[in-house]
Structure 1
């Protein structure tokens, strides 16, 4: 989407150079990106300052720039190059995004949670695009920089905008929701991710619930109704819809039936059966969040089913690929917490027709002072038919140590590096084997997935 110069000028302290207020500009922050007719927004961080790259931005198409008034303007900059001076370039970008949302007025759906944000976002999009022109957060653009950029990138014809909101400290969701002003907000669950910074699961719940601070009057909050930390909170500013397996949920999940392609499930009080072509039982509840959103938007049941059946998740979220010797590789290596790791292990147990079920588990980060016990707790989910457990990294070793101490009946081996683990994994490859990969993003276990798809090495 392009924005009018008038929207930018409104937030400028002063300007240098001239540019027509009706001119359309495309916003970008990466000076290396080719962006004809671009408005360059230089972001300042602890270890970088985008102002230093103005020459590269101009070379790649910038027709104007925001500029922090505290940063000297380079003498080499052409005198006729339009500059919009602001107190803070990031704050100005966030304010412009607010203005654009107010002008365009799409339906805004915000998604947060400890696990499943991206999968839920993908599912919601697949359903509502049957009725609306939609746009969603691309990649991991879910923070104080990425969210306004997502807003400023949405197509002109966007009718429904789905925004993922990530955080690891208090106050971050509050900022994002007040930029986005969602009509509908979803909290997928409360896990242990970022407990290092938030202190406890109670702290995580409090941080996620900041999302209600920006909900529009009359808006709707959709939550995990099986999570007491969410259901015990009394909210007056919005309608609350609960989803889950427990009785009393607004949408109660019943009759879940797995198959090799995904799951069939029903909801209490409904004659409809839904199918989601995605493995992982945890994705059934994510799908129900999508159904809940659809009900708020009055999307017909037929379209809800069509949307679910066509759903595809972002890469590295329980992504199934074929490896060498016909092995099934499940790449769920984008991120991990103890809760999500246990969930995917339980899903692996349910897959039919595999003699060897192998889990490759790596380090999890931001778990705070109790990180060893949280890693060790993963062993509780590992029992037959899981046949092999390979752990990688010093934190992952806590999982294998716990398995050995408990005397679990499976093959267990621990390695410090991916490179050491690869030869062992290669001995397990055949058509009767499925291998699951799960760890925090920094572990980059997808390198092992690629190595087992074709002959290539891995880094340490």
Structure 2
């Protein structure tokens, strides 16, 4: 974070923007352990710890002021910035800081593929200048301002991921980040329990347009029926990408899955035709690559160099990471799961070159009333995916196993991590491949820890 006048940073949160004089701030933190002289400490109430309990101590350690939801004993009124919502305070601070700098910003949202597309955008752009990106899962009303604070005078590009679970959140994130180009990867069913329908999810994702300037490109998945029929704001310029539809602005043809990723021919109505290879498997990752390509080139960046950058993309965390372990290929995809990403992973795995295919699938969380139907649909998909054996873990995943077994697939439901690991150790042999996928809360990496440790 660059030094910035407190009067600028706190604009909109305090009645008198000059109440702290000419003081400058070089840190905004929500962690009392990070407090240093001249910083701003934002207190968040929590289940385990309440930041308000540390507000007075933050001032003792030199904080310029503290942002609190209510008056706090030991905190003088002249040092307290009252704001009933700490998330709102962070968003205001982040927006005020962002307004002082002028990097080109890519905003990424969508039901599936946000993080991978963000990574691909970063790979496409970083060769053109100093580039930052959202780290980890910092894609909400606390994490996005933290990303804004990482912008500096030498930052030329920023790739910002935007997540949501309710209407209005993407609009607030977009107004804070003020992207120059937006991406919507697709419209799925994540958080449908909160939003009620995919039509409402589509409207929520389109809130990214609120922060886009007049004439800004909005990169859209032309294969998504909800985006295709959506009413788009007049001030944005849609850029459509597609897997196979040559009428789209950018499309992928001759898509091939290879042992180490995907290859395809990219046709761009503006820039020409390119052969692209990406180190990520599955047609869904081709779509993610097209989205990243569109965003980078519509910022005016050289298409050939963008294609080379995407070819150097690196996957993060446990997202389709391929681990070669004692002759067995393990595709670790344990970071998250929803019906669309489950289907995409199974489709990819069906084409994966190996002797036999095994899958360990766990619960998909936060699906509300759609949960039973969604897990049963994954069971039908699994039965058609060329699996030798399906192992499931989790109460909802039982439905996957029941439906898959009814269609003739050999299944086993594990009640513990130990049971799942033992089944894999007993069944799998060198030359086999294993797909592991579930929502993050299922922690299937614990099964893999046992499996890797005890492989013969």
Judge same fold: TM > 0.5, yes or no: yes
Pair 315,13 (structure 1): closer, same or farther in 2 beyond 3 Å: same
Distance change in 2, residues 1:302/1:424 (3 Å): same
Give the deviation of 1:360 after TM superposition: 0.6
Shift of residue 226, structure 1, vs aligned partner: 0.6
Residue 176 of structure 2 corresponds to residue 174 of structure 1: no
Where does structure 2 lack aligned partners over 5 or more consecutive residues?
none
Q: What SS class does the counterpart of residue 454 from structure 1 fall into? A: helix
Which residue does 2:294 correspond to in 1? Answer: 292
Would you say the 8 A contact 2:98–2:151 is kept in 1?
A: no
CA contact (8 A) 1:32 1:56 kept: no
Partner of 1:268, secondary structure, is: strand
Looking at structure 1, the residues matched to 48 and 368 of structure 2 have their Cα atoms a distance apart, in angstroms, of 25
5 Å-filtered alignment, 1:392-411, equals 392-408=393-409, 411=410
Q: Is the CA contact 1:114–1:189 (under 8 Å) kept in the aligned structure 2?
A: yes
Identify if the C-alpha distance between structure 1 residues 279 and 38 changes in structure 2 by more than 3 Å, giving closer, same or farther: farther
Deviations for 1:145-184, whole angstroms, at most 9, x for unmatched residues?
Answer: 1111211123442111111111111111121112222211
Distance across 1 between alignment mates of 2:368 and 2:304: 45
Instruction: Map 1:107-186 to 2 at 5 A.
Output: 107-186=104-183
Secondary structure in 1 matching 2:377: helix
Residue aligning to 2:225: 228
Equivalent residues, number: 447
Return closer, same or farther for 1:35/1:416 CA change in 2, 3 Å cut-off. farther
Q: Is the 8 A contact 1:397 1:415 kept in 2?
A: no
Question: Higher mean Cα deviation, 127-136 or 38-47?
Answer: 38-47
What is the distance in 1 between the residues matched to 2:15 and 2:236? 40
The 1-side partners of 2:36 and 2:289 are apart by: 36
Gap change, CA 1:172 and 1:429, over 3 Å in 2: same
User: Is the CA contact 2:346–2:385 (under 8 Å) kept in the aligned structure 1?
Assistant: no
* Secondary structure at the counterpart of residue 153 of structure 1: coil
Counterparts of residues 19-418 of structure 1 (less than 5 Å): 21=22, 23-33=24-34, 38-44=39-45, 49-54=50-55, 57=58, 63-68=63-68, 71-75=70-74, 83-88=79-84, 89-235=86-232, 236-245=234-243, 246-268=245-267, 270-323=272-325, 325-352=326-353, 354-382=354-382, 383=384, 385-408=386-409, 411-418=410-417
SS, match of residue 437 in structure 1: strand
Deviation (angstroms), 1:48: 5.3
- CA drift of 1:215 comes to 1.2
- Distance in structure 1 (CA, Å) of the matches to 2:263 and 2:226: 28
Give the direction of change, closer, same or farther, for the CA distance of 1:190–1:10 in structure 2 (3 Å limit).
closer
8 Å Cα contact 1:14-1:84 kept in structure 2:
no
1:185 CA displacement: 0.7
Tell me, in whole angstroms, the C-alpha distance in 1 between the residues paired with 2:13 and 2:110: 35
Equivalent residue number for residue 452 of structure 2: 453
Change in 2 beyond 3 A, CA 1:240/1:58: same
1:94, CA displacement in angstroms? 1.5
User: Which moved further from structure 2: 84-93 or 145-154?
Assistant: 84-93
Q: Secondary structure at the match of 2:155?
A: coil
C-alpha displacement of 1:41: 1.3
Q: Unmatched 5+ residue regions in structure 1?
A: none
Choose 270-279 or 123-132, whichever is displaced more. Answer: 270-279
Q: Is the 8 A contact 1:262 1:278 kept in 2?
A: yes
| In 2: Cα distance, 1:345 partner to 1:445 partner | 17
